[in-house]
């Protein structure tokens, strides 16, 4: 006799195509002549529909690029290969870009995974927590020798993305309200993008390579000295003072940890 937990695990595996459907359907009660396999398929269709809806909400530009029918099949394959591990649908779809990189039917669409990464970061930034601006008075207690070792924190609603393709342009021309020339030249170069949020509106902007290097290093936990080295390597004329002033005043750098801080 099946334990409830075992039956639930078998049901979930069969639902997402990883288990033997015949095994689990044998444990289902057959009411009023309704075939257990048909009942499982109805439940599977409802579950997949909910997950596809979640993916459609996060990846509308990807869907527009490939078409609704293709997107539906891709979603079904993703749902089977990357079953949700969270009870929150907002978390579902985090690995969609990774999936598209290996999905056999999207190999010629070399820019598509990065468009998906853009849309996932847009989703994360929109739902990220708020944070108070950096308290500049805290710098008064620091010794000048401490500055190089400071580790800065970016706003929770700030994100970075680099791509070899002009994904911002691709994303922009695939917005439902876009008008004008929709052509995209993949040879025009890649993007270094900064995502921010203001009054619940997500903004995406291209930033200079040195600024991207600085913020990316800081976001990764590097001390200021290492972040500056990365920025200068990208642009020997990098102006640290101007960059820090801009990102602090814009509310993108919101905290720091001094040397020896717990």
Sheet holding 191-198, edge to edge: 159-163, 191-198, 201-206
Angle at 100 between CA 72 and CA 66, to 5 degrees: 45
How far, in Å, CA of 225 to CA of 158, rounded?
21
Q: Which residues have CB under 8 Å from 157's CB, separation 6+?
A: 125, 126, 128, 129, 130, 131, 195, 196, 197
Q: How far apart are the first and last CA of the chain?
A: 54
Listed by start position, the domains of the chain span 1-109, 129-262
Per-residue pLDDT of the chain (262 residues; tens, 9 = 90+): 456 566 566 666 666 664 455 555 555 555 555 666 666 666 677 788 889 999 999 999 999 999 999 999 999 999 989 988 887 888 999 999 999 999 999 999 999 999 999 999 999 999 999 999 999 999 999 999 999 999 999 999 999 999 999 999 999 999 999 999 999 999 999 999 999 999 999 999 999 999 999 999 999 999 999 999 999 999 999 999 999 999 999 999 999 999 876 5
Q: How many CA atoms lie within 13 A of 84 on its CB side?
A: 18
Residues paired with 192 in a beta bridge: 162
Q: Does domain 129-262 bear CATH number 3.30.1380?
A: no
Task: Name the residue among 72, 74, 21 with its Cα closest to residue 44.
Answer: 21
pTM of the model: 0.86
How far, in Å, CA of 44 to CA of 46, rounded?
5
Q: How many CB atoms lie under 10 A from the CB of residue 142?
A: 14
Report the number of secondary-structure helices (H) and strands (E) in the chain. Answer: 11, 5
Would you say 194 and 205 are in contact if contact means Cβ atoms under 8 Å apart?
Answer: yes
């Amino acid at each position: 006799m099946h334990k409830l937990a075992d039956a639930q695990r078998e049901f979930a595996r069969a639902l997402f195509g990883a288990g033997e459907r015949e095994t689990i359907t044998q444990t289902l009660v057959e009411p009023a002549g309704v075939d257990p396999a048909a009942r499982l398929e109805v439940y599977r269709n409802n579950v997949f529909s909910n997950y596809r809806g979640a993916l459609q909400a996060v990846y509308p530009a990807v869907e527009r690029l490939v078409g609704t029918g293709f997107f539906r099949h891709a979603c079904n394959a993703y749902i089977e290969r990357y079953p949700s591990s969270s009870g929150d649908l907002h978390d579902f779809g985090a690995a969609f870009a990774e999936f598209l990189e290996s999905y056999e039917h999207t190999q010629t669409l070399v820019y598509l995974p990065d468009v998906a990464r853009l849309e996932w970061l847009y989703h994360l930034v929109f739902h990220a927590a708020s944070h108070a601006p950096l308290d500049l008075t805290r710098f008064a207690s620091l010794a000048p020798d401490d500055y190089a070792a400071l580790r800065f924190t970016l706003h929770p609603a700030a994100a970075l993305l680099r791509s070899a393709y002009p994904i911002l342009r691709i994303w922009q021309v695939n917005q439902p309200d876009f008008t004008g020339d929709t052509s995209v030249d993949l040879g025009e170069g890649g993007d270094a993008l900064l995502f921010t949020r203001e009054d619940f509106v997500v903004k995406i902007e291209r930033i200079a390579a040195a600024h991207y290097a600085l913020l990316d290093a800081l976001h990764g936990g590097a001390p200021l000295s290492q972040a500056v080295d990365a920025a200068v390597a990208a642009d020997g004329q990098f102006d640290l003072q101007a960059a820090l002033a801009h990102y602090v005043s814009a509310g993108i750098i919101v905290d720091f940890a001094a040397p020896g801080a717990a």
